[in-house]
Amino acid sequence: MLHERLSSVYDNVLRRNPGEIEFHQAVREVLESIGPVLGKDPEYAEHKIIERICEPERQIIFRVPWEDDQGEVHINRGFRVEFNSALGPYKGGLRFHPSVYLGIVKFLGFEQIFKNGLTGLPIGGGKGGSDFDPKGRSDREIMRFCQSFMTELYRHLGEYTDVPAGDIGVGGREIGYLFGQYKRITNRYESGVITGKGLTYGGAQVRTEATGYGCAFFVEEMLKARGTSFDGRRVVVSGAGNVAIYSIEKVQQLGGIVVACSDSSGYVVDEKGIDLDLLKQIKGVERRRLSAYAERRGTDATFVAGRSVWEVPCEVAMPSATENEITGKDAEAMVRGGCMAVGEGANMPTTPEGIRVFQEAGVSFGPGKAANAGGVATSALEMQQNASRDRWTFEFSERKLQEIMKDIHRRCLQTADEYGMPGDYVAGANIDGFKRVADAMLAMGLI
């Protein structure tokens, strides 16, 4: 239910951003949580903080021409939405996927504002990407695309202005090409302009692992709050990319048994527990379909084509592929199958109906902007190391990440309690993230 004033804010968002359904969904979820804040503190409404937060500070759309290995010319569209810089430079990833359009970039950028606020670190919110499809492209095609993309984007970036990183379809390889082109065009070795860099040229320990590890740490805290742990628990992780792989790694280290994971072609069930080295080889190195995992693993694993991994029963679910992958129906089946905790490694992977089902069934539900904040938090640590020309050890960086995740978990619960919604991590995350950004905006006057 929306507070009366917020309902008119939402109607305005619908009117001003037609057809951008993922953006509408992300805005609505936040507006549904912050009603009680407006009741307590009328200043936010008086200064139209919410209305301002829903309007990006700047939206950039550009042409990305590039040539494939056969010499054919392709035109893609590039985006960067610089949403909010109240807390620091715009910060957020780049996504390369054919589904990318303005509505996806805006939903991700909007989520990023509150997520980055929740980390307690000095980073604003932004997101970008392209409708470029990297599947089946050679290394050289990827390089040419990244160079063309950066040739336009560089003018909007800067370590004090806007600092991209990876997301779907953008990993270490792409970040290398993007940074190389930025350095070449600007003639500046400005390490802090992009994060997720390789360890040989200014990257930080644990950034690659951070989103997955952080999500596992967050779920560990949720399980602790229920008086239990990962030990011996049956876990399903969707996706088989960066977030999924490092979620699986940390869950296994914490004693959980990951019995299934997925990619865009289907899912694999491996009752003895996913063989992570094999998964990294197939998806990370060879960039093949998940069916190749089952073929090489032999009789232990089964590949199921074209179906949702959420039909596999689990006690803990960590959706780590993409938005709206868990529907209300999936959630009902998961609850029947004994699911007690959900940690969103992906951004907005659960539909609003799905969230309702989980919360009504008493499942601990950790929303993406809290549970997957470890990635961007470690990006901020990378910026910190770049600014001081320092490098930290793996152990030190991982300890910092775990402290940040524990702190986010604690603050979600504390804020939810304060506003009379005990155990509601969605409300806690939205309210805490909102207040941090809103208070900074109030202090800066009408900007």
412 near ligand NDP, rule: CB under 6 A: no
Task: Please give the residue ranges that form the binding site for ligand 2IT (CB under 6 A).
Answer: 91-93, 112, 115, 165, 167, 195, 347, 375-376, 379
Max distance between CA atoms of the chain, in angstroms, equals 64
Answer with the entry of ligand NDP, ligand 2IT, none that 240 interacts with (C-beta below 5 to 8 A by kind). ligand NDP
Rounded to whole angstroms, the Cα distance separating 127 from 105 reads 6
257 near ligand NDP, rule: CB under 6 A: no
Q: How many C-beta neighbours within 10 Å does residue 9 have?
A: 18
Q: What is the SS3 assignment for 127?
A: strand
Looking at the Cβ atoms of 35 and 212, the one nearer to ligand 2IT is 212
Of residues 92, 109, 164, 239, which one binds ligand NDP by CB under 6 A?
239
Least distance from C-beta 348 to ligand 2IT, angstroms?
Answer: 10
Looking at the Cβ atoms of 354 and 374, the one nearer to ligand 2IT is 374
Of residues 222, 240, 258, 279, which one binds ligand NDP by CB under 6 A?
240
- Spatial CA neighbour of 238 closest among 372, 119, 399: 372
* Residue 322 assigned to a binding site: no
428 near ligand NDP, rule: CB under 6 A: no
**CB-CB contact of 369 with 118 (8 Å):** yes
Catalytic, out of 127, 183, 197, 435: 127
* Burial (Cβ within 10 Å: 0-12, 13-18, ≥19) of residue 421: middle
Answer with the entry of ligand 2IT, ligand NDP, none that 239 interacts with (C-beta below 5 to 8 A by kind). ligand NDP
Least distance from C-beta 195 to ligand 2IT, angstroms?
Answer: 5
197 in catalytic set: no
- C-alpha 1, offset from chain centre: 26
Looking at the Cβ atoms of 92 and 349, the one nearer to ligand 2IT is 92
Rounded to whole angstroms, the Cα distance separating 392 from 226 reads 34
* Residue 379 assigned to a binding site: yes
Looking at the Cβ atoms of 242 and 430, the one nearer to ligand NDP is 242
Rounded to whole angstroms, the Cα distance separating 382 from 388 reads 10
Residue 55: DSSP 8-state: S
Residues 353-372 that bind ligand NDP (CB under 6 A): 372
* Residue 242 assigned to a binding site: yes
Answer with the entry of ligand NDP, ligand 2IT, none that 91 interacts with (C-beta below 5 to 8 A by kind). ligand 2IT
Of residues 64, 321, 341, 427, which one binds ligand NDP by CB under 6 A?
321
Q: How many CA atoms lie within 13 A of 95 on its CB side?
A: 26
Q: What is the SS3 assignment for 342?
A: strand
User: At CB < 8 A and 24+ separation, what contacts does 64-71 make?
Assistant: 64/130, 64/132, 64/145, 64/148, 64/149, 64/152, 65/148, 66/141, 66/144, 66/145, 66/148, 67/144, 68/137, 68/141, 69/138, 69/140, 69/141
Which parts of this chain interact with ligand NDP (CB under 6 A)?
Answer: 166-169, 171, 211, 239-244, 263-265, 320-322, 345-347, 372, 375
Which residues are catalytically annotated?
Answer: 127
Binding residues for NAD(+): 211, 242
